[in-house]
Structure 1
Amino acid sequence: MKRLCSICARGGSKGVPDKNVRLLNGRPLIAHSIEQAKETGLFQAIAVSSDSDHILDVAGASGADILIKRPSEMATDYAPKVPAIRHCFMEAEKRLGIVIDTAVDLDATSPLRFPSDIVQAVRMLEETGVSNVITGMTARRSPYFNLVEINERGVAELSKRLPNPIVRRQDSPRCYDMNGSIYVWKRSVLLENDTLFLPDTLLYEMPEERSIDIDHELEWEWVSFLMNKRKESRQSI
């Protein structure tokens, strides 16, 4: 089974400027995902895609095997992510001269995942034979109980309703927040689809403390705090 890992890191972040190369606990943010991918021992190569030469330089110094310059039209604020991931995989395949079986994308802004999360998500796809696997955590809010929308009349109402009203959150169907940490595809599925949601998509559940995606400074501080707690816990053993 041949597997390839991509990490797509666009330049020009607005919520946390230069976050992909900013030092988090002494290492560039993107280096954490590269290291996690390497620790799994799953991949023929780790490819980093970016429109930023600086990010690519940092990724190379951090151990990435293949550096791919992303076309500018795939690096705008409005560009969808899946075509950029597909471009990265196709370019990496050309350089390696191989055809992969399993495509795995790691979000550089989700550094709290464990290497074992990557292994388990890949195993879920390969053992079940489904098209793709996404990751998520138990949702804090339920669309059946306390997540609301404003309708066309300007009135607040539940996002989803059931025939029998839910009076306790615990009784509502289980819902998940996508955490964007890990995406796994069969090669053919990634090449042929732009959507993440297919008839047989599975979800690999991760705990909230490994699911934080850094989009704002407060999330950066929270991730740094949790990483320090992990470090202190390991040192005390």
Structure 2
Amino acid sequence: MKTIATICARGGSKGLPGKNIRPLHGRPLIAHSIAFALEHPAIDAVCVSTDDERIAEVARAAGAEVPYLRPPELARDDSPKLPVIEHLLEFLEREQGRSYERVVDLQPTSPLRIPQDLDACLRRADDPDEPGLVLTAFDSGCNPYFNLVELQGDGSVLVSKGGGLATRQSAPAVWTLNGSIYVWRRAALAHAARHGMWSVRVAAHIMPPSRSVDIDTAEDFAAAERAAPEGKLRP
């Protein structure tokens, strides 16, 4: 199955300015995800979508394609990600005559994934029930049936879903999305770009918290450095 890896990296980060090209163990952050994709045997091409020329230069130097700079209307703070990926795929299909059956979207701020995580996502994507999307998640310890509460109109709080559960073990299993890996069937991506991610059948691969750091702040960056000591992420 012909597969492309997409990596979306906007230049205007506010939580940690310049995070996508900030060095992590000797290599720009985005370059770790590019190297991960280039080295995986299931991936046929690696493309970066960015609005920032500095990120584009770093991405090309790391071996990724950057077909164009993303238009401003897809690079705002509130721009959803799915139309960005769909815009990239439509460009490759329309302007370059390329086609892919599967899209692996890798978040550049999640550098701690390992090949076995992607292997598991790809296997799940090929299961007979044919999920349109396989995404990654982890157990954060938070559960809306047990220890997450919502603010009420009168200023009090109540457990988010239901109530009366004495232990976490008696609550339904829930996971937190970590954004690390998304494996899309091409048709499902096109549908979801117009109707939302949850409009297609979704399955999950559960990763451990140790590989689920999502870098948005300086504290997150420091946590990633601690979780991936020198040598674990190859510079």
Give the TM-score range, shorter chain: over 0.9
Residue 177 (structure 1) aligns with: 176
Q: CA deviation at 1:127?
A: 2.8
SS at match of 1:167: coil
**Quick check: 1:131–1:198 contact (8 Å CA) kept in 2?**
no
2:123 and 2:95 mapped to 1: Cα distance? 26
- 1:185-208: CA deviations, max 9, x gaps? 110111122322235210111110
Residue 2 (structure 1) aligns with: 2
Give TM-score, length-normalised by structure 2. Answer: 0.93
2:65 and 2:201 mapped to 1: Cα distance? 32
SS at match of 1:68: coil
1:122 and 1:199 mapped to 2: Cα distance? 17
- 1:174-227: CA deviations, max 9, x gaps? 110000111111101111223222352101111101111001111100101111
The equivalences for 1:43-122 within 5 A come to 43-94=43-94, 96-122=96-122
**Quick check: 1:45–1:66 contact (8 Å CA) kept in 2?**
no
Cα distance 1:35–1:95, how it changes in 2: closer, same or farther (>3 A)? farther
- Quick one: which amino acid aligns to residue 138 of structure 1? D
Give TM-score, length-normalised by structure 1. Answer: 0.92
- 1:124-159: CA deviations, max 9, x gaps? 112331111111001311101110001122210000
Question: Structure 2 stretches of 5 or more lacking a match?
Answer: none
2:23 and 2:83 mapped to 1: Cα distance? 28
Q: CA deviation at 1:42?
A: 1.3
The answer to whether residue 15 in structure 2 is matched with residue 30 in structure 1 is no
Root-mean-square deviation over aligned CA pairs: 1.8
Identity %: 40
Residue 218 (structure 2) aligns with: 217
Spell out structure 1 runs of 4+ moving beyond 4 A: none
Residue 19 (structure 2) aligns with: 19
**Quick check: 1:9–1:48 contact (8 Å CA) kept in 2?**
yes
Size of the alignment, in residue pairs? 231
